[in-house]
Amino acid sequence: MVEVGRKAPQFTLADQSGERVSLESLQGQKVVLYFYPRDSTPGCTKQACGFRDQHKDFASVNTVILGISPDDAATHQKFVAKFDLPFQLLVDADHSVCEAYGVWKEKNMYGRKYMGVERSTFVIDEAGILRHELRKVKVAGHVRAMLAQVQV
């Protein structure tokens, strides 16, 4: 399980274009790593567009935004193109990274239980140390709160 103040779990995943992205390769930059359930759903779209709209503000404080979901690269490509997202979406089809960060959870909708992503965001510093985590994210106000975290 992840713990604030400790090294963030390392990973290498493909993005929407098939490019391999590793957390280790981003050392020297802050990373906002957000886990979300599915591309093109209302909450996920609002969250992604919020990060899109504040992307320059994050970049101005040396921060990379990465979204992770179990969706495949083709679905990510459509999502990125439709909403003009300027950051990478990573494919975690086997949910191994979701599990490493403790966001692959049992969910319950209308009495039906299933496994899925619990919307969560992590801030990782330039040295790869986890500095902030937010679980069970509510989309409203979320992006501004994460921007405030990286500006400290």
pLDDT of residue 125: 96
Domain boundaries, the chain: 12-150
**118: nearest Cα among 106, 100, 133, 110:** 106
Fold of 12-150: Glutaredoxin (3.40.30)
- Active site residue ranges: 44
Does the global pTM surpass 0.85? yes
Q: 35-39, 110-114, 125-129: which range is least confident on average?
A: 110-114
Burial class from Cβ neighbours inside 10 Å (0-12, 13-18, 19+) for residue 83 reads middle
**Predicted confidence (pLDDT) per residue in 56-90, tens digit:** 999 999 999 999 999 999 999 999 999 999 999 99
